[in-house]
Amino acid sequence: MAAPTLDTVLTGLAQDEATGSLRVGKEGTVYYVRGRVSYVECAATPGVEELLGASGRISANGMRHARQEAGPGGDGGALLVGRGVLSRGELEFCVLSATLDAAFFLPASKPARTRFREGDAHWLGVHWFFDVPGLLRECARRRARLERAWPSAEMDARPVTPLRRIPGTHALLTRLQWELLLAADSTATPVELARRLGRPAYSTLLAVRELAAAGLVVTGETAALPRRTPRAEPPRAGPGAGSGTGSGLPQVNGDATDVNLLLRLRDALEAL
pLDDT in tens, 179-212: 999 999 999 999 999 999 989 999 999 999 999 9
3-state class percentages of the chain: helix first, strand second, coil last, to nearest 5 = 45, 10, 45
Residue spans of alpha helices (H) in 56-131: 60-70, 76-82, 88-105
Pair 97, 51: CB distance under 8 Å: yes
Q: Which residues contact 121 (CB under 8 A, 6 or more apart)?
A: 20, 21, 31, 33, 72, 73
Q: CA 79 → CA 17, 25, 37, 125, 144, distances in Å?
A: 28, 30, 21, 10, 38
What pLDDT does residue 243 have? 38
Model confidence at 264, in pLDDT bands (50, 70, 90)? low
Average pLDDT over residues 59-86: 88
Q: Which of 107-121, 160-174, 252-266 shows the lowest mean pLDDT across its residues? A: 252-266
**What mean pLDDT is predicted for residues 61-74?**
86
pLDDT at position 101: 95
What pLDDT is recorded for position 222? 60
Q: What's the pLDDT score for residue 265?
A: 52
Cα–Cα distance for residue pair 222/260, rounded to 1 Å:
9
Q: Quote the CA–CA distance of 36 and 127 in Å, as a whole number.
A: 12
Residues ≥6 apart with Cβ < 8 Å to 195: 46, 50, 201
- Per the CB < 8 A criterion, the answer to whether 163 and 215 are in contact is yes
Between 107 and 135, residue with greater pLDDT = 135
Return the higher-pLDDT residue of 263 and 245. Answer: 263
pLDDT of residue 203: 95
Res. 231 pLDDT band, cuts 50 70 90: very low
